[in-house]
Structure 1
Amino acid sequence: MADDQSSAAIKDEEFEQKKQATSSVKSFLSGGFGGVCSVLVGHPFDLTKTRLQTAADGKYTGGLDVVKQTIKADGIKGMYRGMGPPLIGVTPIFALSFWSYDMGKKLVYAMTPSRTDPKLSIPELAFAGFFSAIPTTMVAGPAERVKVLLQLQGQSGSTGPTYNGPVDVVRQLYKEGGLKSIFRGTGATLARDGPGSAAYFCAYEASKRLLTPAGQDPQQLNFLNVLTAGGLAGMAMWALAIPPDVIKSRYQGAPHGTYSGFLDCARKTVAKDGMKALFKGFGPAMARAFPANAATFLGVEVSLQAMNKMF
């Protein structure tokens, strides 16, 4: 009898471990699919934001002027300049983000073994969200560096090297300063994505809970709720992330030697253009935030539901 109970306990433990591993794989794959959806919807907004953030004062009158000048110079395809790096890198970036968020939540449960309520609190969700940004940044930092340089290349009046594509950017950056040059701005990316991810996942979970009628499970797929909560999550993230994103874009896009670091870039930016410079690109970022992140979470939830049915 004791042997049977011991054997059953071992099987239960093995099943739970397999279930957790499967859950992690699903989080990874669904995050990657959601990221692809995000880039396809949001890249033109992102390009507009980056050009507004890095252009000299007076070059553009606003986001619509960026769009007008870009299309005039390069056609519609100009709005998708630099999409290669995020589209290629987005699968590991978003996959890592959602996988790390899942790991962050599991870490919270591991640290609170005596909890009676399985529902995570807002501070606990914020912890898991911030945690998700740490491994993600190691991929996102270099990808952002390449993306920013390609986005700025088509801007009239821009100076600096001419790149033939993402691989050429990496090659020239490595020649310029090795891995340090490729990873320039990675710390700035974490400064943006840490608080931003905390707000992102908190806002999504909280919005879904508020939008779900009493007695129903917030985890059940409801397209309207997912789109709304995802869009609000994106807006919450960018409301916090714009100032560090401005500094990150300027730091990553500037010629070598312009700034000694992230803080030096922030100091010089404020000294030259005032505090308002830290909110350049706020309009395009917020305009992008809702549709792009609504698409992200819809992609995540739909793919997750599909995988749940398959295995």
Structure 2
Amino acid sequence: MSITSGSGIPPKTWQPPNGFFGLYKGMAAPLTGVSPMFAICFLGFGVGKKLQQKHPHDDLTYLQFFNAGMLAGVFTTVIMTPGERIKCLLQIQADSKHKLYNGPVDCVKKLYKEGGIRSIYRGTCATLLRDVPASGMYFMTYEWLQHVLTPEGHNRNELSISRTLFAGGMAGIFNWTVGIAPDVLKSRLQTAPAGMYPNGIRDVFRHVIKEEGPSALFKGLTPVMLRAFPANAACFMGYEVAMKFLHLIYPEAD
């Protein structure tokens, strides 16, 4: 799962937003789905772990954590795809004099009128291409760092706040190391005029490589990485706190 969205907006159509609040254009759509997205993401990860365990308390290998993370990426696609399609479309019109959409709801209505549910979910395969391997790396890295950072003779539940934050932040970095290139392709596809890329992400890839070269696949890498660490550190910190709270209420729960 991609905790924070990347860049990938076509350079020929994107213009700098107007003023400070212009930096947040298009964020209403992903914010609306962020709570259920996180819930579904960690649900998918939990399901992925249980599917690979013969007994509830079996320890998993890092490959199995990676597999469970990939399943989490599949789970979140149903929310991620339309949310990011709407966000990207609103962002590229941020500085345009002739705006096509008057906010997320209007965007959904017009996309549905234009091509039905398929238009709203354009880029689903591209989102899967990004989120499945990136989410696998995300959760595997977090579990690995939790193990590495836990002092010998101690339980990972005793890990300090600073170490938990570091593990979560680095998981976000590794997530985007895998996900940045597919994210660029996804965003190009989701903001392109209908019919521009008849073969989907394959056409986008060929066009980007031909016109801009391989380096274009990593546009926006620096700001994405700067954002990824604190955002994902906070995410996993919140997850650990929530799990400890639930275990206090339901001590018999796994």
| TM-score above 0.5 | yes
Residue 168 of structure 1 deviates from its aligned partner by 0.7
Cα deviation code 1:269-292 (max 9, x no counterpart):
111111111111111111111011
- Structure whose alpha-carbon radius of gyration is higher: 1
Task: Pick one of 144, 148, 153 that aligns with 1:206.
Answer: 144
Look up the SS of the partner of 2:154 in the other structure: coil
1:1-311 matched pairs, under 5 angstroms: 46=5, 49-50=6-7, 53-56=9-12, 69-70=16-17, 73=18, 75-110=19-54, 118-155=58-95, 162-220=100-158, 222-260=160-198, 261-311=200-250
Q: Distance in 2 between matches of 1:163 and 1:296?
A: 31
Q: Distance in 2 between matches of 1:170 and 1:118?
A: 44
The answer (yes or no) to whether the contact 1:53–1:280 under 8 Å persists in 2 is: no
Q: For this pair of structures, how many residues does the alignment match?
A: 249
Please identify which structure carries the higher helix content: 1
Look up the SS of the partner of 1:54 in the other structure: coil
% identical aligned pairs: 43
Cα deviation code 1:6-51 (max 9, x no counterpart):
xxxxxxxxxxxxxxxxxxxxxxxxxxxxx9xx6xxx6xxx5xx52x
Q: Which amino acid aligns with 1:178?
A: G
The answer (yes or no) to whether the contact 2:9–2:88 under 8 Å persists in 1 is: no
Gaps of 5+ in 1: 1-34, 60-65
Q: Which amino acid aligns with 1:139?
A: I
Q: Which amino acid aligns with 1:154?
A: A
TM-score under structure 2 length normalisation: 0.90
TM-score under structure 1 length normalisation: 0.75
Q: Which amino acid aligns with 2:11?
A: A
Q: Distance in 2 between matches of 1:301 and 1:147?
A: 29
Task: Tell me whether 196-205 or 258-267 shows the greater mean CA deviation.
Answer: 258-267
Look up the SS of the partner of 2:53 in the other structure: helix
Residue 221 of structure 1 deviates from its aligned partner by 5.1
Gaps of 5+ in 2: none
Q: Distance in 1 between matches of 2:230 and 2:58?
A: 31
Cα deviation code 1:180-199 (max 9, x no counterpart):
10000011000000100010
Q: Which amino acid aligns with 1:301?
A: E
